[in-house]
Amino acid sequence: MPIYEEKLICPLAVRFTQDHIRPQFRDGRELEESFNQIEAKPGKGGYDFILEAPFPAIEIIRWCQSDTDAEDADVQHWFTLDNRRLYCLQRKAASMWPKKCAARVEVLYATSYNSIKRKDTSLSVGRDVSIKCSDHNEHWDWRAVVNRGLETRLRRVLQGISEKDMAEAEELVSSDDGKASIEKLEDAPEAPSMLSHHLQDSSDQLSALVKQADGASTATGLSDAGSTGGSSPRSVENVEDESVPCDDASAWYAALHKTLKGTWTGSKGETYDVTEAKEWATWKCVRQDAQGSRKMFTIWYDAQSDTQPHSTPPHSTRYQHQG
């Protein structure tokens, strides 16, 4: 049984479990730097945008904390122990208000509530947090931020924000906060695979390696080892039946083999071990996430599709080769 499921949720509907946080991550990276690197991608469902961050997805749980200030009823909310990452995501979502933003999260199926209770230091049921700087503290509460400068209807009209926009944004946050089960949260779109990122990033290298293959072209396919349908790995006999000369195919195969083989690490700490399979121009890829869950994929060389590798995307450098 998996220990979490990837979903979408508005980060403004997730609460903190600490009263204060530091302005840096454990590795020394500044929160400000990570906030500036968050990108807004096209959304799905009821979300206008999906936030793509330079750090792993936050883990969230459904939990109830008593409100000593009696501002909230003692009901369950979504909480995270990844407080600094949540702060960055909330800042980005608040900066785009009243646009409706979502973030990819990992919803835990089971966890130790006693452990969470021990780590929880929030005095406001996670509504806000303080950033503990060296010479001062900064207070963060997204509710105050999104309403700043929009207190009156006239101010909202002057900024091109309608009452409907405000109401829909507030309703989305309230709706996500009230979704009491994993099933009610929006499914996260499939993330671009490590291999697609890497192949795009390596397009220039591949092109240089196969200049001797006059006009040869390829594409790689990626399939779940347990799925059905679609193309299957191509054998030597299949490739020889294609119009692409065998020498050209061999040149591309050599380039791909040199580029793909090895162990790669993704932005979430997952690893991808790529090894050569028995079939010609076919590789096995074993993905192992940070929790130890493994999944196998098959990669193959397809001489028939006649497609060159794509250009390099700006975020493709997240995967680092280790072998």
Which pLDDT score is estimated for 243? 39
Residue entry with tokens 């208000």: 97
Q: Supply the pLDDT for residue 223.
A: 42
Q: At residue 274, does pLDDT exceed 80?
A: yes
Look at residue 317 in the predicted model and tell me its pLDDT.
35
Model-wide pTM > 0.85: no
Which H/E stretch holds residue 56? none
Predicted confidence at residue 192, as pLDDT, reads 56
| Cα distances (Å, whole numbers) of residue 87 to 11, 32, 186 | 9, 10, 21
DSSP labels, 194-239: HHHHHHHHTHHHHHHHTTTSTT---EEEEEETT--SS--PPPHHHH
pLDDT digits (tens, 9 = 90+) for 189-238: 876 555 555 555 554 444 454 454 444 444 444 444 433 333 333 333 33
Residue reference for tokens 């028995």: 278
Residue 17: pLDDT above 60?
Answer: yes
Name the least confident of 83-87, 103-107, 268-272: 268-272
Q: Which residue has the higher pLDDT, 188 or 134?
A: 188
Q: Is the pLDDT of residue 156 over 90?
A: no
Cis check: omega of the bond before 233, within 30 degrees of 0: no
